[in-house]
Amino acid sequence: MKKIVYTIGLMLGAITIGQAQTKLLETNDEMAGVALVGEDMLLITKKAEGGQYLYTASLDEPETAARATALNAGQINAIVGGNLAAGEVFVYHKSGRRTGKISIYKWTNGEFVKGEELPVPRLRNHSHNLGLFLTEDKRQLFIAAELAGSEGYDDLYRSEWNGNNWSRPRNMGKQVNSKGAEFAPFVSNDSLFFSRQQGETAYIYGASLKNGEMGEAVRLQSVVNKKEAYNAYFRKSSDRTVWVSGTSQEQPRYIAYMLGKLPEPAADAPLAGAVSEPPVAEKVTEQIGLNEVADASPVETAPKRAVSPSLVLFNEFNRVHLNLNELAGLSRFLRQQPDGTTFVIKGYSDGYGAPAAKQRVSDQRAQSVKAYIQRYFAAKSFKVEVESEVLPDKGKAHRKTELYLVQ
């Protein structure tokens, strides 16, 4: 274990010492990744209504990002590897349930030119999400999915190409996978990087990966992990590192950062060798316990729950925690409520899955919102009750969490 920690320690030093942090892009659009191609091109992955798409921008003007038509051959598109420094990009495309493929693109004469295509393994994925990373030699595919025998929600798996097809994905074991969701795998040299979701936050981890042996995963103790934030989509290219950090304390906000030198630094840029601290996240006052306030006047009738919900929040498939957009709506609603308000939080599961699992998910959705309220709005002394229900119908409209006012 000491040897593994030492290896990770060297790896962390390589991405923090002597490098200045630069904020590349800040947006309310949901960023699902950022990558550097060559010296001065950014590839930005954004989720949109009905899909996920790639955008290109110059490194010095990231806010002018435009959709990359050539790279968006599917409804879902994602960068899954390549020799980015040399202008080679591996892109995953998916338009239907069984139409996933990986296309190889090369930046040539000012445009992306498509080359060979590779299949992806047939997966019985129980998660709404799928994360992939293909090594530069195109021989190993790292997969984030919920397959049979997972440790918790999404786990990391590895599949190998034998010249004709992919091997059956193998779970990477408890050194990497936990009861939480592991996602966004990335391999650089002899290290595996990934993100692990912990409630409404996520942190980037690293593990040694040498001669087929998997080391114990260690959370990166560096500027890439902002506290109380959603840190993900870590990538390292040459001497520069990029990642995305998200927060929902005020509204959905995604920030792409880079460690390393810009091609042409501005006159007021940090001196070489300086280490800039990450922006300080807004501090959330936390209190232990709630102050019970007695009503001085008698009440003739008991408070009743409202017939209709005051807020409806939708959960993603197989997810008990809300995404950043839904959390932002929840935060706005709670800030408008007077101190001491009583809520009933009701979580729902739709008709997919075994009865016990559906009941558990519906309860966990309500409990997740309750925990969020108690953590970030303790000062408002809200009173919270929890209910849950399994709905027979299937679909997004039935995967939800409702808040009812008690008056």
Backbone angles phi, psi at 257, to 5 degrees: -115, 160
My answer on whether 93 and 241 are in the same domain is: yes
Strands 342-349, 383-390: parallel, antiparallel or unpaired by DSSP?
parallel
Identify any residues that bridge with 204 across adjacent strands, giving them in sequence order.
195
The pLDDT value given to residue 235: 94
My answer on whether 361 and 233 are in the same domain is: no
The answer to the question of residue 272 being in a domain is no
Judge whether residue 233 has pLDDT over 90: yes
The answer to the question of residue 386 being in a domain is yes
Q: Which one of 230, 259, 288 terminates a domain? A: 259
Instruction: Specify whether the CB–CB gap between 211 and 198 falls below 8 A.
Output: no
**Three-state helix/strand/coil letters over 100-163:** CEEEEEEEECCEEEEEEEEECCCCCCCCCCCEEEECCCCCEEEEEECCCCCCCCCEEEEEEECC
My answer on whether 234 and 332 are in the same domain is: no
My answer on whether 223 and 344 are in the same domain is: no
Q: Which one of 259, 276, 293 terminates a domain? A: 259
Q: Which CATH number fits the domain that encloses residue 148? A: 2.115.10
My answer on whether 332 and 398 are in the same domain is: yes
The answer to the question of residue 301 being in a domain is no
My answer on whether 319 and 218 are in the same domain is: no
The pLDDT value given to residue 272: 31
The answer to the question of residue 124 being in a domain is yes
The answer to the question of residue 297 being in a domain is no
Please state, in angstroms and rounded to a whole number, the distance separating the CA atoms of residues 405 and 343.
Answer: 5
My answer on whether 234 and 380 are in the same domain is: no
- Band (pLDDT 50/70/90 cuts) for residue 8 is very low
The pLDDT value given to residue 284: 30
- Band (pLDDT 50/70/90 cuts) for residue 396 is confident
The answer to the question of residue 158 being in a domain is yes
Residue 103: C-alpha distances to residues 106, 111, 114 (Å): 10, 15, 7
Q: Which CATH number fits the domain that encloses residue 331? A: 3.30.1330.60
Mean pLDDT of 272-299: 33
pLDDT digits (tens, 9 = 90+) for 178-223: 988 999 999 998 899 999 998 788 999 999 988 778 889 999 987 8
Residue 53: C-alpha distances to residues 49, 114, 212 (Å): 10, 17, 33
- Band (pLDDT 50/70/90 cuts) for residue 292 is very low
Query: How many separate domains does the chain show?
Result: 2
pLDDT digits (tens, 9 = 90+) for 317-339: 878 888 877 888 898 899 889 99
- Band (pLDDT 50/70/90 cuts) for residue 250 is low
The pLDDT value given to residue 206: 94
My answer on whether 318 and 196 are in the same domain is: no
252 versus 393: which is more confidently predicted? 393
- Band (pLDDT 50/70/90 cuts) for residue 93 is very high
Burial class (CB in 10 A: 0-12, 13-18, 19+), 163: exposed
Closest by CA to 391, choosing from 367, 355, 365, is 355
My answer on whether 226 and 328 are in the same domain is: no
The answer to the question of residue 298 being in a domain is no
The answer to the question of residue 296 being in a domain is no
My answer on whether 243 and 166 are in the same domain is: yes
The pTM is what?
0.67
Judge whether residue 344 has pLDDT over 70: yes
Q: Which one of 195, 230, 259 terminates a domain? A: 259
Mean pLDDT of 121-134: 90
* Structural domain of 328: 311-406
My answer on whether 22 and 94 are in the same domain is: yes
- Band (pLDDT 50/70/90 cuts) for residue 237 is confident
My answer on whether 246 and 386 are in the same domain is: no
pLDDT digits (tens, 9 = 90+) for 352-388: 888 888 999 999 999 999 988 988 888 999 999 999 9
Over the chain, what is the mean pLDDT? 82
